[in-house]
Amino acid sequence: MTLTTEDHPALEHKRKLVIATDNFLPRWDGIARFLSEIIPRLHTHYDITVIAPDYGTYEDPNIKLVKIPLMKILRVGDFRIPKYKKSLINSIIKDSDLVFAQTIGTVGKLSIDAAKHHKKPVISFIHSIEWELVPRAMGNILLKKYSQIVAKNFARTTYNKCDLLIMPSNNVSEIFLWNNIRTKSVIVNLGVDTKKFTPLDAEARKDLREQLGFDKDDIIIGYHGRIGREKDLITLLRAFTRLQIYNNNIKLLIVGDGVESIKKQLSSRSEVILTGAKNNPIPYLQVMDIYTLTSLTETTCLSMLEAMSCELAVVSTEVGFIKSYVRNGYNGLFFEKQNPYHLARNIQKLIGDATLRKTLGWNARKTVVEKFSWDKTAQGIEHALNGLLKK
């Protein structure tokens, strides 16, 4: 009897997959969370090495982790820049079968360049639109003006070196084409673990709110994610300040970490709670009543999907893929970018109408359960990886 890899997966020869990223654990953000879900689903078929910045102690039995030291001074927004370790990255890529890039920062760019030099297939997952993200992440006005041009040219040159781009949505793919990034692309949506990101029943929710220090009558407006300039949390703060005039039982719960100057502004206002970054944001989402996203740029926004999976009524800017999976008035509400008055009106509508909050939240979870799954995401990625290896 002949044994096959289909009968016995352990017999399969694992190909050497290098995942290159400028964002990784223990620093939590959307890319880190994405990789924490995808790597366990890929390691059965691949021998995985992750090249990532050294953000601190982190161990994963599924991977070999190569840490790149961080520069002590240079930052872009809340990002610390990894050092330029070309020879180290080059030696790792040389011994690989396939490179899977997540970013085009120091680590991502050097890995893509090394892959092309050693004729290794390279695929990149598009997590952000760099020429939108970089200028908005900068604090210096002069840098904002020129960084968009530089970022767009840099992204175009780098992504056109890849063999394949994995896009999180059709609209992101179209934006790249409009900007002369011609590399072949496939669409793979992000996922959510809807068995973990769930709503609580009334009694469990009441108990959890008490544990976290909230009163049973508090209306909790929340956000989970990085505290970066492009997230425009100052618009949320201004809207919240306006809402405090008419409501004495509201709280603003910010779960995340980032730019110190923005954190200082947020913490200066009464009834604003900053928790810092949390490895497990689920309990904090479960106690919220209304979830807000004030971002100026997004692709998919994983934190939004997770909030929707927890059956939260969401209020968001109409950016990226969000405008495709959120339907205004059905499973969420949209407001105009950088308009705290419009945001406040929408939040006030939800504060005053518990039935509307419940209906939007129920429809939000239904949307996520039906359309977003990490298993489907992993299957799409693996299909794309295998397609390149067969060429």
Looking at residue 94, what is its pLDDT? 97
- For residue 241, what are its two tokens? 């300040």
* CATH class of the domain comprising 202-371: alpha beta
3-state secondary structure of 61: coil
Cβ atoms of 346 and 333 within 8 Å: the answer is: yes
List the one residue out of 52, 121, 40 whose CA is nearest residue 83: 52
Looking at residue 2, what is its pLDDT? 36
Alpha-carbon span 209 to 77, nearest angstrom: 33
Determine how many CB atoms are found less than 10 A away from the CB of residue 2. 4
Cβ atoms of 171 and 321 within 8 Å: the answer is: yes
In the CATH hierarchy, which fold is given to the domain comprising 9-191+373-389? Rossmann fold (3.40.50)
For the chain, the structural domain boundaries read 9-191+373-389, 202-371
9-191+373-389 and 202-371 agree in CATH topology: yes
* 138: amino acid identity, one letter: M
* 143: amino acid identity, one letter: L
Kindly state the helix (H) or strand (E) to which residue 221 belongs, with its residue range.
Answer: strand 219-224
List the one residue out of 170, 203, 204, 195 whose CA is nearest residue 185: 170
Residues of the chain with confidence (pLDDT) below 50: 1-11
Looking at residue 27, what is its pLDDT? 87
List the one residue out of 89, 96, 105, 80 whose CA is nearest residue 158: 105
Residue in this structure with the two tokens 């995401």, named with its chain if needed: 377
3-state secondary structure of 290: strand
Tell me the C-alpha to C-alpha distance, in Å, between residue 8 and each of 5, 41, 62, 101, 379: 5, 17, 19, 30, 19
List the one residue out of 310, 138, 139, 299 whose CA is nearest residue 224: 310
Digit-coded pLDDT (tens) for 99-157: 999 999 999 999 999 999 999 999 999 999 999 888 777 665 666 678 888 999 999 99
| Ramachandran region, residue 365 (left: φ > 0; alpha: ψ -120 to 50; beta: rest) | alpha
Strand partners, 274: 254
Looking at residue 7, what is its pLDDT? 41
Tell me the C-alpha to C-alpha distance, in Å, between residue 233 and each of 72, 197, 303, 316: 26, 23, 15, 12
Looking at residue 149, what is its pLDDT? 87
Digit-coded pLDDT (tens) for 351-364: 999 999 999 999 99
